[in-house]
Each structure stands twice: as structure tokens, then as C-alpha cells.
Amino acid sequence: MKSLVISAHPEPKSFNARLSSTAQRLLRERGHEVRGTDLYALDFDPRERGSHYHYRRDPDRFFVQDEQRFNHDGGSLPADVARQLDDLLWADLLVLQFPLWWFGVPAILKGWMDRVFVYGGMYSSRRRFDNGVCRGKRVLLSVTAGSSAEDCSPTGREGDTRLILWPILYSLHYVGFDVLEPVILYGIHGAHGGEDPRERDAHLAVQLSRFEQAMTTIDRLPTVPFNRDEDWDERGQLKPEAPSYSPFIRHAPPF
Amino acid sequence: MKSLVISAHPEPKSFNARLSSTAQRLLRERGHEVRGTDLYALDFDPRERGSHYHYRRDPDRFFVQDEQRFNHDGGSLPADVARQLDDLLWADLLVLQFPLWWFGVPAILKGWMDRVFVYGGMYSSRRRFDNGVCRGKRVLLSVTAGSSAEDCSPTGREGDTRLILWPILYSLHYVGFDVLEPVILYGIHGAHGGEDPRERDAHLAVQLSRFEQAMTTIDRLPTVPFNRDEDWDERGQLKPEAPSYSPFIRHAPPF
């Protein structure tokens, strides 16, 4: 088993960094071959743009998908992207470790998706969803949220974090991953929050233990259900008889 | 009326760039004072991290919120962030122009939020939602999607784009904006997609006209409804008698 742990936190002494190193250690102890990627340490540029490409199908106008496919097929992807893509295709299990910032992933991780999930290499109109390039691979989102579990519950003011992650989960399903139920640790924020340091440390210890439990039972974690290819008609519409597994599909619009 | 148009597309000749310049022109014609920001042209760095800060409350460990507040209060925010924040606080109307990439905003725009929505300046535990810093300001998301309107409908395989934008809309509500109903243009992709160029141009002309219609009627665009402050109890839970305006709050978990 080959595992890739990608982390997206700017502070090497952060709790996120500790979770990332813990994941790598526990996976190695389970016999996995493990690679770790710290996007901040790599200074990964999350901005997809024309200047990354030495060769261009159209030097005059940068169309993202065109240049991604052209450079993928021609073996001339930007070196940083090619390395990330190699790691991704190498791994059987991907762990994405990040803090929830503004109800989403940090920009450096969003840009990793924007740049590394290249058209022609990671997906095409024929290779996606059940027939996606990453079919048979698993992915786990390990997320820290500053707010409490209560605030992030389905009745809480921050909104249900598991649902807020849906656009990310669906992107990973799109490229073919089996998406594991995310591990979300709540109440994780800066050390200077005015709390009692002992209470904070006790809270972090409980959360770390929850995370370790998830990592040591990773082969038994449930997967997030998605609609399968056969649930869609030839026009990309959910068939009337199919259940919907997405909060965004056949959902009564709330606004 | 003061308007700020922020665009997040890497190609100056793109349809997104045309929408951005069209928005600025139409707003000026309505008598608005207009500022335009092209995040790619500015080479805006979307990666929030310690090295952006010359002064640090804690030089040893970078805690995002701590350093944002410390530097905001001390007047030592990074120059690029300070300029963006000045523009944001100057504007009555904000237009965010971007293509939908992987079911979300391009990384450069996510990082604009990560870095510019500074703790202490743009929000705090006491200044958010109905009491947010941007209270009384309006924001419009103008989004292009590569997929068809049918694929992006509530029954379509891409998921309902308006719902997929929810984490962004909620972030803008969090800092106090009145959030206008997003304008979403479908079927906008690269010029080399194998389509008939005349059909493509005709489609783009229709979409541009939809956009112009929205911009010239911007004072009559509906706002996205959100729960108000009084809908929440003292523990941040939606009161039983309150309706939910969020797909992520009091929503039966689909997985």
C-alpha cells in the first residue's frame, strides 16, 4: 500500500503539522510506503496561469484546459505539477490535511487542485466519476475547524461542516476516488485565544486521539456514497427513479 | 455610489476579462465611481503565511488570526493586503468575477479571502453576520461555468451551481454583506473545444447580454436570504421556530 499525505498549513509547529506527521508515522507502522508533501514548504504556486507553461498550443491566449491537455500529452507539464501528478498516480491512498478557512480549503490546496488535476491527465469527458483516472484509489480529508462541534453541527451557525466540504468531496469523486468519510476535528485554533492552556492542551489531546483512531482504522472507514454512472440519463440528468446522494442535486433550492 | 470589480482569470483576452471590463463600463455609465482589480495582473499572492508579516506578535509560531489582528490593529498589515482592504472598505458594491474551477473559486480568489478578510479588521466574534463590518454593502458573484445550464441545474450531474457557491456566499454574509443573487453564465469554455466558432460566438453573445441585463438592473437584483441574528439561540443553534435559509443548516445529512 502506497500513501501520500499532503498538508496545507503555513506553520511547521501547528497542530495540522502534527496531524500530518502523525498520519505518516501511523501509516508507516501499518506497513505503508509513505510520501509526505508540505505544500507551503514546497512554496507551491497555486495560481494556474499561462506563464507556467514553456510550450503553448496557443501562445496568444491562455485557455486552461487546452494547455493542460496539450502539455500533459506532450510531456511538458510544469515541473512542479508533473511531480505532484506523479505522486498522485503513484498513491493508493491520499490524505489531505488542512484547516478550514472561510468555509473551504486554504488557497494553496485549492490551487493544487486547479493545477494538478489536469485536463487530459486527471480527467476528460470520458474519464470521470465511476470511470475516473483515480478509480480504486481512496482519499481522506482530515480537516481542522476553529469553531466548536456544536457550531459546525447541522443546526449550528457555522453550517454543517461535512456538507460545506461537499464541493471538495465531489471534485475528488469526479476524478474517480473512493472518498472516505472526512475526519473533522473541531475547536482547533491559535494558542493565544485566551483559553486556559491546560484546557486547550487537554482538548487537543482528545482530538489527536480521535485522529489516531481514524488513522489506525482507515481500512474500515466508511465511504461517502455518490450516485453511480447508471443513475444519470444521456443528458446528464438524475433519473427519476434514482435516489440522490448529493445535497446539491435534486435539492429544493433554498433561495 | 462606489463600486469595486475584482476579477480572477489568468487570461487578459478571456471572456471573464470582457465581463469584468463590461461591468466597469456599465457601472461608470450609471454614475458609479469604479475601481477595478485584476488579481492576476497584480500577481496577488494567495498563500496566507508568516513571511508576509514584518512584525509578529509571536515570531516563533504563526497563528493566522493572531497575526492578522495584531498587524491590523498595529497598522502593519502586508502592503498588498492593506491596499485590498482599503478598496473593500471604500466600496459600496463589490463584484467578484471568476470562472468556476473544481466547484469553487480559483485559488487566487480564495487566497484573497484568506488574506484580506483579516481577523480584527473584517470580522471578530462581535462583528459578524448582521453586525458585520460590511453591513450595508452589496456583493455580486458573477460566475462562468464550463458546463451547460442543464448539467448545472438542480437535477444535473455537475450539481446545482447556486448551491455549490454557498460556502462563498455564506463567507460574504459572515462579514456582513448583502449578497445579491449570483449571475451564473453557463457553457463558457475555451475557444478550442471543437465547436463551431459561429455557434460559440452566438452563445457568448447571448450570455454577455444576460450579464449586461444584470448589471444595468443591479439595483433591482434580489438578495440571497439568510437567517438573521435573532434566529440563533445563545449557543449558536437555530431556534426551533426559525426557518432555515441555508442548505447546510438543519439539513438532513445525505451521507
Q: Report the mean per-residue pLDDT for chain B.
A: 94
Task: Using an 8 Å CB-CB cutoff, list chain A residues near B190.
Answer: 63-66
Q: Side-chain half-sphere of A124: how many Cα atoms within 13 Å? A: 11
Q: Are the C-beta atoms of residues A236 and B157 closer than 8 Å to each other? A: yes
Give domain status of residue A229, yes or no.
Answer: no
Q: Report the CATH number at residue A54.
A: 3.40.50.360
Report the range of poorest mean pLDDT among A206-210, A236-240, B184-188, B189-193.
B189-193
Q: Which of A83-87, B153-157, B250-254 has the highest mean pLDDT?
A: A83-87
CB pairs under 8 A between A and B: 245
Shortest alpha-carbon distance between residue A114 and chain B (Å) = 7
When scoring B157, B195, B232 by the number of chain A Cβ atoms within 10 A, the one with the most, hence best to mutate, is B157
Chain A residues inside the 8 Å CB shell of B163:
247-248, 251, 253-254
For residues B253 and B163, membership in a common domain is answered with no
From chain B, pick out residues whose CB is under 8 angstroms from the CB of A17: none
B101/B130 same-domain check: yes
- What interface predicted TM-score (ipTM) does this complex get? 0.97
Give how far B156 is from chain A: nearest CA, Å: 5
Query: B158 and B200: one domain?
Result: yes
Does residue B255 have a pLDDT over 50?
Answer: no
Structural domain count, chain B = 2
**A156-167 b/e (C-beta count within 10 Å ≥ 16 → b):** bbbbbbbbbbbb
Quote the domain boundaries for residue A171. 2-224
The string over A107-143, giving b where at least 16 C-beta atoms fall within 10 Å of a residue's C-beta and e elsewhere, is: bbbbbbbbbbbbbbbbbeeebbbeebbbeebbbbbbb
Residue A253 lies in a domain: no
Q: Rounded CA gap, A237 and A72, in Å?
A: 31
The reply to whether A159 falls in a domain is yes
**B15-29 and B197-216 are packed helices; what angle lies between their axes, rounded to 10 degrees?**
30
Chain A residue numbers touching B247 (CB-CB < 8 A): 163, 247-248, 251, 254
Q: Is residue A255's pLDDT more than 60?
A: no
pLDDT one-digit tens code per residue, A101-129: 999 999 999 999 999 999 999 999 999 99
- The CA dihedral of A145, A151, A157, A159, to the nearest 10 degrees, is 50
Q: How far apart are CA B52 and CA B68, in angstroms?
A: 10
Residues B23-72 pLDDT 10s: 999 999 999 999 999 999 999 999 999 999 999 999 999 999 999 999 99
Q: How confident is the model at residue A27 (pLDDT cuts 50, 70, 90)?
A: very high
B253 and B165 both lie in a single domain? no
